Structure 1
Amino acid sequence: MTEQPSRIRVWHRPMRSRDRGEHHRVATPLELLFDLCFVVAVGQAAAALHHALAEGHAAHGVTSFAMVFFAIWWGWLNFSWFASAYDTDDVPYRLATLVQIAGGLTIAAGVSRAFEGDFRVIVAGYVLMRLSLVGQWLRAARSVPETRPAALRFAAGIALCQVLWILRLFLPPSTAAVTFVAVVLCELAVPVVAERSARTAWHPHHIAERYGLFTLIVLGEVILSATNAVKEGTSESGHLGALISLAAAALVLVFSMWWLYFDRPGHARLVRRPGMFTAMSWGYGHYFIFASAAAVGAGLEVAVAYDTGTLHLSGVAAALPATVPVAVFLLSVWLLHIGPTNECRPIAIGFPVTAVLVLAASFTPAPIHVTAGLAAALVVLTVVATHGSPSPA
Structure 2
Amino acid sequence: MVERVLKVLRFPPRDPAQAHRGVTPLELLFDLAAVVAIGAAAHGLAGFIVEGRPMAGLAAFVPSFFMVWWSWMNFTWFASAYDDGSNAFRGLSMTVMFGALMMAAGVGAAFAGKPIWMALLGFVVMRLGMALLWLGAWRGDPQRRPTAQRYALGIIAMQLYWIALVALVPPHAALYLPLFALGAAGELAVPAMAERRAATPWHRQHIIARYGRLNLIVLGQAFLAVVSAFELEPGSIFPRAEGVGLALIFAVIAFSMWSVYFTKEPHLVSGALRHSLLWGYGHVVVFATGAAAGAGMQAVLQSQGNGINGAHWSVAAPVALYCATLWWIRDRYALTGHRRWSLLVAAALVVTMEAIPGMELFSTAFILAAAALVRRVPAGSGVQAQA
TM-score (norm: length of structure 1): 0.90
* Residues 264 and 337, structure 1, Cα contact 8 Å, conserved in 2: no
Label 1:268 to 1:197 Cα distance change in 2 as closer, same or farther (>3 A).
closer
Structure 1 position 264, deviation (Å): 3.6
* Residues 12 and 90, structure 1, Cα contact 8 Å, conserved in 2: no
Choose from 121, 124, 140 the match for 2:118.
Answer: 121
Choose from 33, 36, 40 the match for 1:37.
Answer: 33
The yes-or-no answer on 1:55 pairing with 2:45 is no
* Alignment deviations for residues 273-327 of structure 1 (CA, whole Å, 9 cap, x no partner): 2210011110000000000000011111122223x31x3222xx21110000000
Higher alpha-carbon deviation: 109-118 or 355-364: 355-364
Cα distance in 1 for partners of 2:151, 2:334 equals 34
1:337 corresponds in structure 2 to 330
Cα distance in 2 for partners of 1:61, 1:236 equals 34
* Alignment deviations for residues 194-224 of structure 1 (CA, whole Å, 9 cap, x no partner): 1123211111110010000111111123212
Choose from 325, 328, 334 the match for 2:318.
Answer: 325
Cα distance in 1 for partners of 2:338, 2:349 equals 16
1:384 corresponds in structure 2 to 377
State percent identity of aligned pairs.
36
2:163 counterpart letter in structure 1? I
2:343 corresponds in structure 1 to 351
1:110 corresponds in structure 2 to 106
Structure 1 position 28, deviation (Å): 0.5
* Alignment deviations for residues 172-198 of structure 1 (CA, whole Å, 9 cap, x no partner): 333211211111111111001111232
1:284 corresponds in structure 2 to 281
2:245 counterpart letter in structure 1? S
In the alignment, structure 1 segments of 5+ residues that lack a partner are 1-10
Cα distance in 2 for partners of 1:13, 1:106 equals 25
Structure 1 position 235, deviation (Å): 4.6
2:11 corresponds in structure 1 to 15
Matches within 5 A, 1:170-209: 170-173=167-170, 174=173, 175-209=175-209
1:24 corresponds in structure 2 to 20
In the alignment, structure 2 segments of 5+ residues that lack a partner are 1-6
* Residues 256 and 368, structure 2, Cα contact 8 Å, conserved in 1: yes
TM-score (norm: length of structure 2): 0.91
1:365 corresponds in structure 2 to 358
Cα distance in 2 for partners of 1:33, 1:266 equals 26
1:37 counterpart letter in structure 2? A
* Alignment deviations for residues 63-116 of structure 1 (CA, whole Å, 9 cap, x no partner): 211110000100000000000010111111101000100010111111111112
* Alignment deviations for residues 357-378 of structure 1 (CA, whole Å, 9 cap, x no partner): 1112323314222211111111
Matches within 5 A, 1:145-160: 145-160=142-157
1:362 counterpart letter in structure 2? E
1:312 corresponds in structure 2 to 307
1:8 corresponds in structure 2 to none
1:225 corresponds in structure 2 to 225
Cα distance in 2 for partners of 1:387, 1:198 equals 38
The CA RMSD over aligned residues, in Å, is: 2.4
Cα distance in 1 for partners of 2:315, 2:249 equals 12
Structure 1 position 384, deviation (Å): 3.1
Aligned to 2:152, the other structure's residue is in SS state helix
The yes-or-no answer on 1:79 pairing with 2:71 is no
2:278 counterpart letter in structure 1? S
Higher alpha-carbon deviation: 256-265 or 23-32: 256-265
Cα distance in 1 for partners of 2:346, 2:267 equals 24
2:66 corresponds in structure 1 to 70
Aligned to 1:291, the other structure's residue is in SS state helix
1:3 corresponds in structure 2 to none
1:246 counterpart letter in structure 2? L
Label 1:376 to 1:388 Cα distance change in 2 as closer, same or farther (>3 A).
farther
In the alignment of these two chains, the number of paired residues is 374
Cα distance in 2 for partners of 1:330, 1:362 equals 15
Cα distance in 2 for partners of 1:352, 1:236 equals 46
* Alignment deviations for residues 118-171 of structure 1 (CA, whole Å, 9 cap, x no partner): 221111101100110100101110111011000011000001111111111122
Label 1:277 to 1:140 Cα distance change in 2 as closer, same or farther (>3 A).
same
